[in-house]
Amino acid sequence: MDRLRDQYDALLLDLDGTLYRGPEVIEGAPKALAPNGDSAQRLVYVTNNAARGPGAVAHHLDELGYPATTADVVTSAQAAARMLAERLSPGDRVLVVGTDDLAAEVKAVGLDPIRRFGDTPPAAVVQGHSPATAWPDLAEAAYALRADALWIAANTDRTLPNERGLAPGNGSMVAALATASDREPLVAGKPYAPLMENAIERAGTRRALVVGDRLDTDIEGANGLGLDSLLVLTGVSTLDEVISAPAARIPTYIAATLDALNDAVVAEPAAPADIADLLRQYPGRAVRVRAVDSEIR
């Protein structure tokens, strides 16, 4: 049997909505990713959430039953810090709107993270998700942006899945700051290239499958770099959204859960409307999607 996972040397795995929702593991997902037979794929955990450093993310994954070390985790905070370092001079001040872990990534690339400033605006603003972000933080960033500071957002996800549903994501806070500043940021996270390029570099191969739950980040990001993708229906995006999605957001495969990695792929459907029937007919398997009139494959 030709399993889906065996076509690839690496799996680039989204976290929120794919492996867990908030503190709760998605049932069956750790078992689906466990070494299986002759499988030897490199597992790289790729998260748009900039709230936690790679060590904390790896520890959380390990607690939930996923094999992970710090070296296996790539975050949008790391990608954002790398973008800053490429554009600024060592020691430049960067106003951080986000967690202390995001500030630590800024410091790690030789820049000076700050929270407030006086008469001299910082060289840049970096913005990542933090549940503690408040009006004074956004106001300070708006003053800096009005003074022409560089602006980099870790990601622009409008929502963040957790055990209660969909909470406001970093993109919602970015939108507030964009309104206040009449500016738009450069973005490090999916669907933009910097984070995915970091993940490919970490995996050491382009023969990789991107696995995620969002059409507008995971799938569009994979398509933008010419990588295959698997959409799992355990998080944000729904099958109805797939059927009406533009070509840039059509995944290579769709499956109900990660179990599909360990089974053969169902033949391509004749039309998008057939996908739901095939998923019901072949539970636990992925359906290959025909991207009608698409130029992305």
Active site residues: 14, 16
In contact, 87 and 114? CB cutoff 8 Å: no
State the Cα–Cα distance between residues 165 and 163, nearest whole angstrom.
Answer: 6
E-strand ranges in the chain read 10-13, 20-21, 24-25, 42-47, 73-75, 93-97, 112-114, 124-127, 150-153, 159-162, 165-168, 186-187, 208-212, 228-232, 253-255, 287-288
3-state SS class at 283 = coil
- Four-point Cα dihedral 268, 270, 275, 278, nearest 10: -70
For residue 24, what is the DSSP state?
A: E
Phi, psi dihedral angles at 46 (to 5 degrees): -120, 110
Listed in sequence order, the residues at least 6 apart from 19 whose beta carbon sits closer than 8 Å to its beta carbon are 13, 25, 26, 29, 33, 45, 61, 64, 66
Neighbours of 136 (CB within 10 A): 10
